[in-house]
Amino acid sequence: MPKRKVIEFLDSERVKYVSIEHSPAYTAQEVAASAHIPGKELAKTIMVKLDGTMAMAVLPASFHVDFGHLKDVAGVGKVELASEAEFRDLFPESQLGAMPPFGNLYGMDVYVAAPLTEDEEIAFNAGSHTELIRLAYADFERLVKPMVGDFAVKG
């Protein structure tokens, strides 16, 4: 889902947003620095497998996934980090590692770490390593309907 599709989706839902271009950056912390956004407000998307089913874990850039807690939040028996080879083809329009956190558009569950819900606004990759979208967290939650839980660890 490249930037154009993200924007079309947001426009169709009448969501206010800002598009931010930045120099190429590949890690969440690099993106936050490049775009001058606090790491707590930049939502990174981590692809995980929950009992073998692909899902998205979305958390602040300055946090890491606690897989044990995610397992409890999701109510599954096994949580694994998905390999790039396992999800590459699910997002053909996005650069690898830059997919936006709209798993609902791909038929997959989205789990949001509780600290992200504390921000009035969040920003996230828009399908490339040079573009972000910033919008109200409340709009993101309304559109994606993620499951929120305590599975992120600062660090």
What's the pLDDT tens digit per position in 52-70? 999 999 999 989 999 999 9
Q: How does DSSP classify residue 77?
A: S
State the total domains in the chain: 1
pLDDT at 1: 44
Residue 63's Cα: distance from chain center in Å? 12
Give the whole-angstrom CA distance, residue 43 versus residue 112. Answer: 9
Q: What is the pLDDT of residues 19-51, one digit of tens each?
A: 988 888 888 888 888 888 877 889 999 999 999
Distances (CA, A) of 151 to 53, 58, 132: 18, 10, 24
In a 13 Å sphere around the CA of 83, the CA atoms on its Cβ side amount to: 2
CATH number at residue 145: 3.90.960.10
Q: What is the pLDDT of residues 87-110, one digit of tens each?
A: 999 988 888 889 999 998 889 999
Higher pLDDT, 141 or 119: 141
pLDDT at 29: 80
Higher pLDDT, 150 or 33: 150
Helices 3-12/137-144 angle, 10° precision: 90
Q: 18 is written with which tokens? A: 């800002």
- Give the range of the structural domain holding residue 58, as residue numbers without chain letter: 3-154
